[in-house]
């Protein structure tokens, strides 16, 4: 559905994307995760041909993104946080304007979505609140049954209620469509995403199915008898190690239940208890970003 | 409508949570035999999860005979397929594991934990009896 190879983008002397290779499979809900300035928006803009890459290649729906034509754009939905919408048109006015561009426009679906989002048809777009405008942008992107929906930071500036509505609208339509969603709002995408890619400073740290990520990365809490006991060199896969009182917590990025106690006891003395806790996507993201940053420093 | 009280918790498999949530609701008779089960789409919308995950969970529950497809009606609750007592234990396992972990962390002994479970149990029992009266 999407495939990039060694994609790089340099703004003046600043590298926004560095040899990023990524693959989004058809039918997946792919979350692109990374801190502000990691290069998520740059990547998305290259994918929809708003900007050009400095080097490398990007294919969307099997076509080089620089060659995307209306034929492909009819099957791509794009919603970004700062979506440009014609402010002087009314909600229905703009939908009326868009309809003829898309042969597959589904009026029943359009109605369902505008009702779900309670979009006032006679209101001018520049009189809408930010939340309404984002919902409007989604309402414009769904009725033609896109095969690929690209959402760039759709949740920023939305209150929890609107986020819920937005996610409900999305979940109702997701079905067979491939969704690429960039966000640092990990709570929102956690239930929805099937795949995750972490981007940091323009590089892809990894991409994998959410299930394997949450199985593989677990927080381990080790309670020891007393403080300052022997501690041998810990493996590189243990990150974000923290100590408070007699509790040592760390994140095991290659977690396996097999031999866990043995592996910990061989490195730490006086272990009283070992507890394994599953981590939320948000916690995984924070730990990994922190670890990456401390390595860079 | 909220799909039988499932609250998606972060970090755990969504599929597992939907499956065990449905099983708990069936065991507790919140969902009764013969009752229609939410559609994949409404499940996805309610829980804000990907429809494919909702679909997988429903398919699994059908395969395990918790649900059955009735032509013309949709997916309905078939009841508990195995011995209820075993299944009851099974679906609560994860919650017990979390409780045990928490207890160990604060340094509780097994007996003490069992004791506080007993107390909590009889307290609940009492309030149930009072409500019944």
Q: Could you report the per-residue pLDDT of B40-62, keeping only the tens digit for each?
A: 888 988 888 888 889 999 999 99
Q: Which of A164, A171, A251 to mutate to test the interface with B (most CBs of B within 10 A)?
A: A171
- A85-99, A113-127, A181-195: the lowest-pLDDT one: A181-195
Let me know: does A156 contact B14? Beta carbons within 8 Å: no
Asked if A174 is an interface residue toward chain B (Cβ–Cβ < 8 A), one would say: yes
Find tokens 């106690």 and name the residue.
A261
Q: Comparing C-alpha atoms, which of A53, A63, A33, A19 is closest to residue A151? A: A33
What's the pTM value of the predicted model, to 2 decimals?
A: 0.81
Find tokens 């039918």 and name the residue.
A27
Question: Given A168, A214, A280, which is nearest B48 (Cβ)?
Answer: A168
Residue B44 to residue A214, Cβ atoms within 8 A: no
Min Cα–Cα distance to chain B from A103, Å: 25
Indicate the SS3 state at residue A249: strand
- CATH code for the domain defined by A2-208: 3.40.50.300
Highest-confidence segment of A176-180, A223-227, A245-249: A176-180
Average pLDDT of span A65-80: 92
**pLDDT number for residue A297:** 62
Contacts for A65-70: CB closer than 8 Å, 24+ residues apart: A70/A101
- Alpha-carbon span A67 to A81, nearest angstrom: 25
Q: At B2, is the pLDDT very low, low, confident or very high (cuts 50, 70, 90)? A: low
The ipTM (two decimal places) reads: 0.71
Question: Given B12, B45, B52, which is nearest A194 (Cβ)?
Answer: B52
| Tokens (6 digits) for A82 | 């700062």
Question: Given B48, B104, B105, which is nearest A191 (Cβ)?
Answer: B48
Find tokens 């919308």 and name the residue.
B45
Write the DSSP symbol of residue A152: E
Residue B14 to residue A191, Cβ atoms within 8 A: yes
B50: chain A residues, CB-CB within 8 Å:
29, 171, 174, 191-194
| pLDDT reading at A165 higher than 90 | no
| pLDDT reading at B1 higher than 50 | no
Average pLDDT of span A263-291: 85
∠ at Cα A89 (A50, A147), nearest 5°? 45
- Alpha-carbon span B92 to B7, nearest angstrom: 15
Count interface pairs A-B at CB distance under 8 A.
67
Task: State pLDDT tens for residues B90-132.
Answer: 878 878 888 888 888 788 899 999 999 999 999 888 887 777 6
How many beta carbons lie within 10 A of that of residue A167, not counting itself?
21
Let me know: does A267 contact A246? Beta carbons within 8 Å: no
B15: chain A residues, CB-CB within 8 Å:
211
Q: Spell out the domain ranges in chain A.
A: 2-208, 218-278
Indicate the SS3 state at residue B100: helix
Residue A8's H or E segment, with its range, is strand A2-11
Beta-sheet pairing, A148-152 with A76-80: parallel
Min Cα–Cα distance to chain B from A90, Å: 28
- Alpha-carbon span A171 to A176, nearest angstrom: 11
B41: chain A residues, CB-CB within 8 Å:
172
**pLDDT number for residue A137:** 93
Beta-sheet pairing, A218-224 with A247-252: antiparallel
């Amino acid at each position: 559905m999407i495939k990039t190879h060694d994609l790089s983008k340099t703004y003046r002397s600043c590298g926004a994307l560095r040899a990023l290779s990524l693959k989004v499979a058809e039918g997946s809900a792919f979350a692109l995760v990374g801190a502000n300035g990691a290069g998520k928006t740059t990547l998305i803009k290259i994918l929809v041909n708003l900007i050009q890459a400095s080097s490398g290649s990007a294919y969307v729906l099997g076509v080089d993104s620089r060659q995307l034509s209306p034929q492909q754009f009819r099957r791509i939905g794009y919603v970004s946080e700062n979506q440009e919408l014609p402010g002087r048109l009314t909600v229905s006015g703009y939908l009326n304007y868009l309809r003829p561009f898309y042969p597959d426009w589904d009026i029943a679906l359009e109605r369902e979505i505008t009702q779900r989002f309670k979009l006032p048809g006679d209101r001018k777009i520049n009189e809408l609140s930010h939340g309404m405008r984002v919902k409007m942008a989604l309402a414009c992107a769904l009725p033609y049954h896109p095969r690929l929906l690209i959402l760039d930071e759709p949740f920023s500036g939305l209150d929890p209620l609107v986020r819920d509505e937005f996610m409900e609208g999305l979940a109702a339509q997701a079905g067979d469509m491939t969704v690429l969603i960039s966000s640092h709002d990990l709570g929102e995408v956690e239930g929805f995403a099937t795949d995750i890619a972490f981007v940091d400073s323009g590089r892809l740290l990894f991409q994998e199915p959410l299930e394997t990520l949450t199985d593989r990365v677990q927080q381990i809490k080790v309670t020891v008898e007393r403080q300052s006991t022997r501690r041998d060199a810990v493996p590189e896969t243990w990150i974000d190690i923290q100590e408070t009182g007699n509790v040592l917590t760390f994140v095991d990025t290659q977690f396996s239940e097999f031999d866990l106690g043995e592996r910990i006891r061989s490195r730490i003395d006086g272990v009283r208890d070992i507890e394994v806790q599953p981590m939320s996507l948000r916690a995984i993201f924070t730990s990994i970003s922190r670890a990456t940053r401390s390595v860079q420093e | 409508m909220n799909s039988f009280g499932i609250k998606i918790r972060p970090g755990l498999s969504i599929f597992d949570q939907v499956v065990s949530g449905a099983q708990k609701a069936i065991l507790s008779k919140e969902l009764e035999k013969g009752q229609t089960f939410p559609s994949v789409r409404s499940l996805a919308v309610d829980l804000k999860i990907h429809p494919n995950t909702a679909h997988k969970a429903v398919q699994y529950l059908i395969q395990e005979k918790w649900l059955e497809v009735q032509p013309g009606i949709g997916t309905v609750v078939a009841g508990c397929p195995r011995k209820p007592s075993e299944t009851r234990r099974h679906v609560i396992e994860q919650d017990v594991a979390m409780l045990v972990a928490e207890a160990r962390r604060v340094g509780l002994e097994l007996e003490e934990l069992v004791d506080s479970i007993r107390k909590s149990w009889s307290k609940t029992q009492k309030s149930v009896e009072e409500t019944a009266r």
